[in-house]
Amino acid sequence: MTVLMPFARRAPAVARSSRGGAVPVVLALVAGLAVGAGGMMLAGRAGAPPAAPSASPGGSTPVPASSAAPGEAAIRETLTARIPDLPKIDEVSSTPIAGVYEVRIGGDVIYSDERGAFLLQGSLIDTATRTNLTQERLDKLSAIDFASLPLQDAIVWTQGKGTRKVAVFADPLCGFCKRFEQQLGDAKDVTVYTFLLPILGPESAVKSRNIWCAKDRTAAWRAWMVENKAPADAAASCDTAALERNLALGRKHRVNGTPALVFEDGKRVPGAMPPDALERQLAASTRRS
């Protein structure tokens, strides 16, 4: 059995997220519709036809639902007409609930009835397995192929044998990154690939350049992040093209906050992880990779 669990009807804060992209815009639009219309819910039994739309508080006539056959075409037509500011719909697919469809926009999903007359934002839960199907879907959408990462552009250091792997997008001025880097010193049997991502302003760019151009960039990185020892100024002739490539890589994968973690199986985690959670994820990702 599956159930839909709606979020509270409020505009979500734009959190520091590795997924980024159009997600905050999509959810804000949906939440705004809910607030403006007093809330929208998918009512009645699964697959039941939606109620006729009522006039808006301002007296204007609402756009009718599409007359196309129920399904993807109708959903696209109705949502495009009723929500002109909605970003491009990338995919419409069925869900385990009859009459309920997943609408994917970039790296996020919302749910719709079969005509696009109603939207629901929230988590789809399989109560038999206690699985959050929405989160599973989001994890799949945000996954990054570890083998495709340009590891030559990363700072590399190893604990123990280093058989387990994690990539970290980090800004040298990010406090959360510093704390996480210090925690990594207690991790067992791991190789860490750090992609410098100077997104916190000009000083971040300077610090990243100085670290990347150091004679021993790994030592310079660890000294700064763990001991707060600033690296020496980089030579003017230093090649920092790798830092530009890292920024492009971050944009490609919509990495909008640091730290952002990528594990061997493609699992992506926004933000730092507590040591016990990191250990569990390293073990799980190594088994699946």
- Which domains are delineated in the chain? 2-142 (3.10.450.70), 146-288 (3.40.30.10)
Residue 51's pLDDT is: 46
State the Cα–Cα distance between residues 264 and 272, nearest whole angstrom. Answer: 17
Are the C-beta atoms of residues 285 and 264 closer than 8 Å to each other?
yes
Are the C-beta atoms of residues 194 and 221 closer than 8 Å to each other?
yes
Are the C-beta atoms of residues 217 and 232 closer than 8 Å to each other?
no
Are the C-beta atoms of residues 29 and 83 closer than 8 Å to each other?
yes
State the Cα–Cα distance between residues 260 and 254, nearest whole angstrom. Answer: 10
Residue 36's pLDDT is: 52
Question: In the chain, what is the straight-line distance between the N-terminal and C-terminal CA atoms, in Å?
Answer: 30
pLDDT in tens, 58-90: 555 567 766 667 789 999 999 999 999 999 999
Listing DSSP states for 54-114 in one string gives PPPTTSPPPPPPP-SPTTHHHHHHHHHHH-TTPPPP-EEEE-SSTT-EEEEETTEEEEE-T
The Cα diameter of the chain in Å comes to 70
Residue 15's pLDDT is: 33
Alpha-carbon torsion (149, 152, 157, 158), positive or negative: positive
Which are the contacts of 286, defined by CB distance < 8 A and separation ≥ 6? Answer: 163, 164, 264, 265
Residue 53's pLDDT is: 47
Residue 142's pLDDT is: 85
Q: Which helix (H) or strand (E) holds 196?
A: strand 190-196
Answering whether pTM is above 0.75, one says no
State the Cα–Cα distance between residues 144 and 264, nearest whole angstrom. Answer: 9
Are the C-beta atoms of residues 171 and 177 closer than 8 Å to each other?
yes
Residue 180's pLDDT is: 96
Residue 32's pLDDT is: 61
State the Cα–Cα distance between residues 26 and 52, nearest whole angstrom. Answer: 25
Task: Tell me the mean pLDDT per 10 residues along the chain, length 289.
Answer: 36 35 54 50 38 49 68 93 93 94 92 95 94 92 92 96 96 96 92 97 96 97 96 94 97 93 94 94 86
Are the C-beta atoms of residues 175 and 272 closer than 8 Å to each other?
no
